[in-house]
């Protein structure tokens, strides 16, 4: 048995036969004049575009809207003349179609990789994926032969097209050399509910087609030709997962309340109206976070009032009266909008982002606030990355101006929407008692808050161990925030990744968190966890770990609660 270590991509364990996808990286010989070569390129471009549009339509018909949006983006790139015209010029200049595509894709991706913005660096993957699509078609791509049993797809890099075109009936997991935590490979794996491991150097040389594999997407570990002991452990994990699903189905989850009667709202995080399809059959208490930056990313320009209003109303209607918290545009840091033309910054996470952008671009902000106000009476507004009380006052003043504009135009709107903020900076966390006087609710964004408290970039592998929510400073700050909100009489929620972390949930319950907002796929599990503990015991547990100073000891103690529940 051979063990190799990669980076966690998407959680879960899988067992399957390795299918190694090796793409052609060199061109087969050509003997054509430039005009013939240009025609071959244009024919290939048309075929690839048609394939993407057809695939997009198929995915939309099957309800896979997130995947359909990715493929739509690829189709748009193929139709983007700013990318394809330089390729055509290079062909007329004497290069082969393959060489022209390769050179232009490399030039564009190199520019993106050189940027400080993590989001733009990972968008270089998209450009390379589109380039691979064209080059493979120019070279005469071959259909990959898939086994009629569970298999793990292994490749240097996987494009969404690679995975979405496959018959995924037996697809058990994904393993790649390339790709980041927000790459489409990882996003698709999470959407499909299969494990993924990324960042394995020379992976197509280390794993051969036909190898038996075990992979754990949570730890990033792969076992090649696993021995009997490893197989036994895997079977136990699978059995435990099935046993847990049975327990969840048997539990009454109609009300998310602890065994001693403390109710906690369990809501879902979404990025588009289509995501509401994922919660249609679930018991949930509302939308705890609607990330509007995904809506802005769907356009090549600022979405209009009508375009935003349509999306917000769709979500409000789909929630059927349940509260919907819409977060205003949270762009910057590792999230980018090409048409926003943000300045290059040395440290974008500490720079011009989120509400700072909104307050400096008043008309854009007023347009969004107006659309949110007109979306429905069950809609609430949340401002991100607030660090000063003055910023919140400025936001509320613009909200009043947006109401005035709607009133003048005769557009119906919510006259008294509930207004809250994201608590995701230490400055805001320390001053929660002051902010509480101006808020109807607060929600803790634990992803950013953790990296700001620990001074460790969550996307940097060299310091990722330091960027831990188990740092005692993080626990103390969370407890203080919850306590300040309780004193002020306003609800406090968590909408970051910690809200769905089963090991951490006992602590959040123990400090008095009122609302947990998680991905749609985690709603049932979180409700089950809440219904399986006693508030009194979780309060004792919270007090215990708040006295500790070793993150590893804190994690071990908290994780034991979950282990006891699933026994």
Q: Which tokens go with 236?
A: 């136990």
Cα separation of 44 and 36, whole Å?
Answer: 12
Collect all residues with Cβ–Cβ distance below 8 Å to 563 and sequence separation of at least 6.
none
Structure tokens at 550: 């070793």
Whether residue 56 contacts residue 75, with contact meaning beta carbons closer than 8 Å, is answered with yes
pLDDT higher than 70, residue 406? yes
CATH architecture of 262-566: Alpha-Beta Barrel (3.20)
Of 184, 268, 428, 531, which is the active-site residue?
184
Helix (H, G, I), strand (E, B) or coil at 517: strand
- State the DSSP H helix or E strand holding residue 493, giving kind and residue range, or none if neither: strand 492-494
> Measuring CA to CA, how many Å separate 561 from each of 214, 525, 554, 555, 567?
27, 15, 12, 11, 10
Q: Which of 267, 428, 495, 531 is catalytic?
A: 495
How many other C-beta atoms can be found within 10 angstroms of the C-beta atom of residue 397?
A: 10
Could you say which architecture CATH assigns to the domain 34-139? Orthogonal Bundle (1.10)
Among the residue ranges 170-179, 186-195, 436-445, 500-509, the one predicted with the least confidence is: 186-195
Return the CATH number of 2-24+143-238, one of 3.20.20.110, 3.40.50.10540, 3.30.420.140, 3.50.30.10.
Answer: 3.50.30.10
* C-alpha–C-alpha distance, residues 450 and 426, integer Å: 9
Model confidence band, residue 121 (pLDDT cutoffs 50, 70, 90): low
Per-residue pLDDT at 270: 87
Q: Are 558 and 488 in contact (CB under 8 A)?
A: no
Q: What is the pLDDT of residue 120?
A: 60
CB 134 within 8 A of CB 83: no
| pLDDT attached to residue 63 | 73
**Mean per-residue pLDDT of the chain:** 87
- Residue/partner pairs of 560-563 with CB below 8 Å, 24 or more apart: 561/503, 561/506, 561/533, 562/502, 562/503, 562/505, 562/506, 562/529
Is residue 69 classed as helix, strand or coil in its secondary structure? helix
Per-residue pLDDT at 333: 66
**For residues 384, 389, 392 and 393, what is the CA-based torsion angle, rounded to 10 degrees?**
-170
Q: Residue 417: CA atoms inside 13 Å, Cβ hemisphere, count? A: 28
Sheet-wide strand order for 7-10: 2-5, 221-224, 212-216, 13-21, 151-155, 171-176, 196-198, 7-10
pLDDT at residue number 341: 73
| pLDDT digit string, tens, across residues 222-275 | 999 998 888 888 888 778 777 887 888 888 888 999 999 999 999 998 888 877
Return the DSSP state at 157. Answer: -
Helix/strand/coil for 76: helix
Beta-bridge mates of residue 466: none
Match 């300040």 to its residue by tokens: 484
Angle between helices 472-488 and 446-454 (to 10 degrees): 130
Supply the Cα-derived Rg of the chain in whole angstroms. 25
Among 25-39, 57-71, 141-155, 551-565, whose mean pLDDT is lowest?
Answer: 25-39
Q: Please report where in the chains the tokens 């879960």 appear, as a residue.
A: 12
Is 129 an annotated catalytic residue?
no
CB atoms within 10 A of CB 63: 12
Whether residue 366 has pLDDT greater than 90: yes
d(CA 39, CA 45): 10
In this predicted structure, the answer to whether residue 322 has a pLDDT above a threshold of 90 is yes
Task: Name the band, by pLDDT with cuts 50, 70 and 90, for residue 185.
Answer: low
Return the H-helix or E-strand segment holding 164: helix 160-165
Q: What is the pLDDT of residue 139?
A: 81
Confidence band for 461, pLDDT divided at 50, 70 and 90:
low
Please answer whether residues 444 and 495 qualify as being in contact, where contact means their C-beta atoms are separated by less than 8 angstroms: yes
- Establish how many alpha carbons lie within 13 A of residue 23's alpha carbon, considering only the half-sphere containing its beta carbon: 21
- Work out the average pLDDT over 52-68: 81
pLDDT at 183: 61
In Å, what is the CA distance from 313 to each residue of 241, 320, 357, 378, 466? 37, 11, 25, 10, 41
- Would you kindly state where each structural domain of the chain is located, as residue ranges? 2-24+143-238, 34-139, 262-566
* Rounded CA separation 425/388 (Å): 10
Residue 250 structure tokens: 């048997």
Comparison of pLDDT for 36 and 278, the residue scoring more: 36
Tokens coding 246: 């049975």
Establish whether 495 is a catalytic residue: yes
Average pLDDT over residues 184-212: 82
Q: Is the pLDDT of residue 28 over 60?
A: no
Q: What are phi and psi of 215, to 5 degrees?
A: -135, 145
Q: How many CB atoms lie within 10 A of CB 349?
A: 18
- What end-to-end distance do the CA atoms of the chain give, in Å? 29
Residue 184: predicted pLDDT: 60
Kind and range of the H or E run holding 435 = helix 432-435
CB atoms within 10 A of CB 82: 8
Mean pLDDT for the stretch of residues 83-91: 92
Closest CA to 200 of 162, 155, 144, 150: 155
Average the pLDDT over 81-103 and give the result.
Answer: 91
What's the CA gap between 333 and 348, in Å, rounded? 5
Residue 117 has pLDDT above 70, yes or no: no
Distance (Å, rounded) from C-alpha 284 to C-alpha 264? 11
Sign of the four-CA dihedral 533, 216, 554, 490 = negative
198: β partners:
7
- Is residue 194 scored above 90 in pLDDT? no
Q: Going by C-beta distance under 8 Å and a sequence separation of 6 or more, which residues neighbour residue 424? A: 384, 385, 444, 445, 446, 447, 448, 449, 452, 496
Q: Please, which pLDDT band fits residue 376 given cuts at 50, 70 and 90?
A: very high
405 contacts: CB under 8 Å, gap ≥ 6: 366, 370
> Residue 256: its pLDDT value, please?
93
């Amino acid at each position: 048995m051979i063990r190799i270590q990669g980076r966690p991509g998407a959680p879960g364990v899988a067992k399957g036969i390795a299918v190694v996808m090796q793409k052609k990286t060199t061109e087969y010989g050509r003997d054509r004049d430039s005009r013939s070569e240009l025609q071959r390129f244009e024919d290939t471009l048309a075929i690839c575009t048609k394939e993407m549009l057809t695939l997009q339509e198929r995915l939309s018909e099957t309800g896979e809207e997130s995947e359909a949006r990715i493929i739509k983006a690829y189709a748009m790139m193929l139709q983007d003349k700013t990318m394809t015209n330089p390729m055509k010029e290079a062909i007329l200049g004497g290069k082969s179609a393959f060489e022209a595509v390769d050179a232009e894709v490399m030039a564009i991706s190199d520019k993106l990789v050189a940027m400080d913005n993590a989001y733009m660096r990972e968008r270089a993957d998209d450009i390379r994926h589109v380039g691979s699509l064209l080059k493979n078609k120019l070279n005469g791509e071959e259909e990959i032969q898939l086994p009629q049993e569970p298999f793990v797809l292994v490749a240097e890099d996987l494009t969404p097209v690679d995975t979405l075109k496959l018959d995924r009936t037996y697809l058990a997991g994904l393993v790649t050399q390339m790709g980041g935590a927000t790459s489409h490979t990882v996003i698709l794996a999470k959407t499909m509910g299969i494990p993924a491991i990324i960042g394995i150097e020379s992976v197509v040389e280390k794993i051969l087609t036909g190898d038996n594999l075990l992979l754990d997407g949570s730890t990033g570990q792969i076992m090649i030709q696993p021995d009997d002991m490893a197989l036994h452990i895997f079977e136990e994990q699978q059995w435990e997962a099935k046993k847990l699903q049975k327990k969840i189905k048997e539990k009454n989850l109609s009300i998310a309340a602890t065994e001693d009667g403390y109710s906690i709202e369990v809501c879902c995080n979404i990025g588009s109206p289509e995501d509401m399809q994922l919660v249609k059959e679930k018991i949930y208490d509302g939308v705890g976070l609607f990330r509007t930056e995904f809506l802005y990313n769907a356009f090549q320009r600022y979405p209009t009032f009508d375009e935003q209003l349509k999306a917000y109303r769709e979500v409000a209607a789909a929630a059927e009266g349940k509260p919907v918290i819409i977060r205003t545009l949270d762009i910057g840091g590792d999230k980018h909008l090409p048409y926003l033309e943000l300045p290059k910054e040395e440290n974008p996470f500490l720079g011009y982002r989120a509400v700072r952008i909104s307050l400096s671009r008043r008309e854009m902000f007023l347009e969004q606030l107006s659309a949110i106000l007109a979306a429905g009476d069950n809609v609430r507004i949340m401002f991100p990355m607030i660090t000063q009380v003055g910023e919140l006052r400025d936001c509320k003043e613009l909200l009043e101006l947006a109401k005035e504009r709607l009133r003048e135009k005769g557009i119906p709107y919510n006259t008294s929407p509930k207004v809250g903020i994201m608590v995701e900076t230490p400055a805001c966390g320390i001053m929660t008692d002051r902010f509480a006087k101006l808020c109807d609710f607060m929600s803790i964004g634990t992803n950013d808050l953790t990296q700001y408290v620990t001074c460790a970039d969550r996307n940097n592998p060299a310091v990722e161990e330091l960027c831990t929510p188990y740092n005692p400073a993080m626990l103390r700050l969370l407890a203080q925030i919850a306590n300040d909100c309780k004193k002020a009489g306003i609800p406090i929620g968590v909408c970051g990744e910690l809200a769905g972390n089963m090991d951490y949930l006992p602590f959040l319950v123990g400090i008095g968190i009122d609302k947990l907002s998680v991905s749609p796929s985690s709603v049932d599990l979180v409700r089950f966890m809440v219904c399986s503990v006693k508030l009194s015991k979780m309060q004792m547990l919270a007090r215990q770990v708040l006295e500790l100073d070793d993150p590893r000891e804190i994690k071990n103690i908290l994780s034991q609660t979950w282990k006891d529940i699933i026994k």
